[in-house]
């Protein structure tokens, strides 16, 4: 059984083909610059050289067709034909309150995803385009939606409700939803294994730090709070997103700069965060290098990001009580030793003791590592995330009719015997 996972962004389509029987990735890659010109595909197969091909993709349907062509190509492909594909799993960023778990896509489900696309106007439209494109190219196989928001639907009402007129929630669905759910699910389950405990007995703070950044407070195995909100703009400092700010700030800037609401929204989403502070960088490696050469704005960006991370750790410890572990994941979380060190500095009074030498040596996208001292009451882990494996296991379980909520469903990666491929 081969499962194709698709993650459609506004100008890219990531994919992974997974052999469920052998439990291994057959191929993965990305089509970049979809809809904007000069598009190309990067195709990776274990044991082979990376393949790149320039190919114009004016829309997501052409991009999905290119993926199919590449997967079945006589020289670069890995399957003889697409009949070997048993199902397609689709990342959908926003499911609103309608979806609390992954589901098989039919007309009603697709309509429901469209109904909440106004809650994620930068993300859901390309997700929808990708689903429709894949259904057109692969009409005979089941298509499954995996929602970023689903994992956080266990938040209590007092955590997800905003202190604004309640009619906004009733009429427009205004509340905190949270994102990166599959990542938080995966690394929290892996952390429970490393702790040698049942997830239901674990209190964990998970910190997904990449270009997008979100944190989750996980109490007794379920998400009870998370940093992103109605949209992915709220919360931590991110690559180009501002995160938490004074809500009056956008209106103030709109007036003094004579900008439209749409223009201000674009600045807060695409020109703020690390980019806004430094004026030129989003990649933390560039920021660190420039800071080491004396760039004060880059140093400020690092200080701000680490300070915000530290505040979230403290806030979530207050929310969930006795803490078992803090987990860092995603690109910066897995590779950025300096940011981890600054975020965890002087937290000994909270029971967090960092092994600085081990932390500095931990820069990998493959290995799970404990970077706290052996006697630290709160353990600190770096755990590479694997959202595509969550996609795949949800898809297979739905096909086999064994799927249930994540606290009762037995994921392979939640077992002590699990070996990362």
pLDDT score recorded for residue 421: 65
The residue with tokens 């410890």 is 317
Q: Which portions of the chain are predicted below pLDDT 70?
A: 421
Q: Domain residues of the chain, as ranges? A: 2-147, 196-382
Q: Same topology for domains 2-147 and 196-382, yes or no?
A: yes
pLDDT score recorded for residue 199: 93
- Quote the CA–CA distance of 127 and 10 in Å, as a whole number: 8
Q: What is the CATH number of domain 196-382?
A: 3.30.420.40
For residue 11, the 8-state DSSP code is S
- Quote the CA–CA distance of 340 and 217 in Å, as a whole number: 18
- Quote the CA–CA distance of 328 and 308 in Å, as a whole number: 14
Task: Name residues whose C-beta falls within 8 Å of residue 272's C-beta, 6 or more positions apart in sequence.
Answer: 240, 241, 242
Give pTM, 2 decimals.
0.91
| Lookup: tokens for 421 | 């491929």
Could you give the C-alpha distances from 178 to 108, 116, 314, 327, 385, in angstroms and in order?
A: 23, 14, 19, 17, 17
Q: Residue 37: which region, alpha, beta or left (left: phi > 0; alpha: psi -120 to 50)?
A: left
Active-site amino acid positions:
148
For residue 248, the 8-state DSSP code is T
CATH topology of domain 2-147: Nucleotidyltransferase; domain 5 (3.30.420)
């Amino acid at each position: 059984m081969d499962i194709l996972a698709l993650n459609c962004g506004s100008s890219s389509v990531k994919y992974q083909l997974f052999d469920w029987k052998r439990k291994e990735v057959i191929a993965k890659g990305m089509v970049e610059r979809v809809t904007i010109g000069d598009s190309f595909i990067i195709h990776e197969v274990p044991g082979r050289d990376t393949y790149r091909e320039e190919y114009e993709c004016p829309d997501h349907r052409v991009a999905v067709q290119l993926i199919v062509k590449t997967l079945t190509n006589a020289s670069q492909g890995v399957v003889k034909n697409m009949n070997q594909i048993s199902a397609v799993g689709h990342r959908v960023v926003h499911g609103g309150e309608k979806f609390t778990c992954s589901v098989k896509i039919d007309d009603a489900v697709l309509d429901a995803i469209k109904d909440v696309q106004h809650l994620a106007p930068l993300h859901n439209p390309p997700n929808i385009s990708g689903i429709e494109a894949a259904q057109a190219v692969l009409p005979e196989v089941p298509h499954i939606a995996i929602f970023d928001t689903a994992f956080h639907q266990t938040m209590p009402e007092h955590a997800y409700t905003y202190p604004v007129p309640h009619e906004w929630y009733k009429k427009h669905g205004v509340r905190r939803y949270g994102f990166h759910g599959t990542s938080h699910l995966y690394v929290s389950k892996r952390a429970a294994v490393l702790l040698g405990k049942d997830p239901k007995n674990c209190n964990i703070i998970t910190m997904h730090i990449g270009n997008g950044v979100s944190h989750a407070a996980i109490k007794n195995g379920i998400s009870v709070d998370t940093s992103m909100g109605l949209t992915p703009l709220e919360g931590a400092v991110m690559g180009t997103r501002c995160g938490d700010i004074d809500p009056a700030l956008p209106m103030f800037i709109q007036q003094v700069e004579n900008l439209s609401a749409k223009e201000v929204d674009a600045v807060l989403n695409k020109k703020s965060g690390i980019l806004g502070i430094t004026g030129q960088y989003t990649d933390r490696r560039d920021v660190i290098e420039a800071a080491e050469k004396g760039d004060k704005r880059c140093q400020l960006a690092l200080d701000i990001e680490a300070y915000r991370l530290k505040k979230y750790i403290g806030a979530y410890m207050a929310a969930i009580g006795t803490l078992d572990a803090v987990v860092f994941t995603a690109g910066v979380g897995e590779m950025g030793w300096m940011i981890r060190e600054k975020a965890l500095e002087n937290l000994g009074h909270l029971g967090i003791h960092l092994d600085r030498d081990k932390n500095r040596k931990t820069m990998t996208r493959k290995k799970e590592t404990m970077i706290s001292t052996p006697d630290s009451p709160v353990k600190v882990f770096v755990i590479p995330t694997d959202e595509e494996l969550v996609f795949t296991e949800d898809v297979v379980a739905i096909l086999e009719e064994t799927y249930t909520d994540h606290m009762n469903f037995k994921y392979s990666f939640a077992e002590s015997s699990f070996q990362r491929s």
